[in-house]
Amino acid sequence: MFEIGDVVIYAEHGLCRIDDICEKDLFGEKRLYYVIHPLSETSLKISTPVDAKKKKVIRTMDRSEAKDLLEVFGRGDIEWIDDAKQRARTYHNLVQTGEREKIAAVAGALMDKKLNTDQKMYDQDRKILNTVQSLLFREMAMSLGTTVDDVAEQVEERLLDGVLQ
């Protein structure tokens, strides 16, 4: 269980701080809840059950995990899917797993296509990439003690190095 003040990852909101842990009574059922706010939106308050079956609150990665995750970029773990609708569905499903390596692989595939082709990105691709970069890169930056821009630069270098080899 997390403690008040811990920074965690919460579903699609990314980095959040736990403000309180309290018992709430909903429909006659008492449960323990985390009360959290996204670091990027301090006015937004979210309550989520501590004992939720599908874990929406997870610990942030440590420095070692962030360094390992950087290695995912440029490996080409995901094949490019030419059909835009199928690609959007497949990549969205991979991101929804919450598994950081799969999310990084999706970001890598989309960034690689963006960096290394003259083709315009589809809106679905751009939305997925923006979401992933916003959430994953922010967490990686925090874990590495650097900036989001620095993480993005390191990732781009790895993607470009992969093309040059």
pLDDT in tens, 28-85: 989 999 999 999 898 999 999 998 877 788 999 999 999 999 999 988 889 899 999 9
Please indicate, yes or no, whether the overall pTM of this predicted structure exceeds 0.85.
Answer: no
CA dihedral 101, 102, 104, 110 (to 10 degrees): 160
- Distances 84 to 79, 124, 132, 151, 164 between C-alpha atoms, Å: 13, 8, 18, 27, 27
> Predicted confidence band at 164 (pLDDT cuts at 50, 70, 90)?
very low
Question: Which class would CATH give 63-164?
Answer: mainly alpha
The model's pLDDT over 89-105, given as tens digits with 9 standing for 90+, comes to 999 999 888 889 999 99
In eight-state DSSP terms, residue 59 is E
Two tokens at 161?
A: 């190095």
- Domain positions in the chain are 7-59, 63-164
- CATH number for the domain formed by residue range(s) 7-59: 2.40.10
| Amino acid of residue 125 | D
β-bridge partners, 29: 26
Answer yes or no: is pLDDT of 127 > 90.
Answer: yes
Separation of alpha carbons 55 and 53, rounded Å: 6
Please tell me the predicted confidence (pLDDT) of residue 165: 43
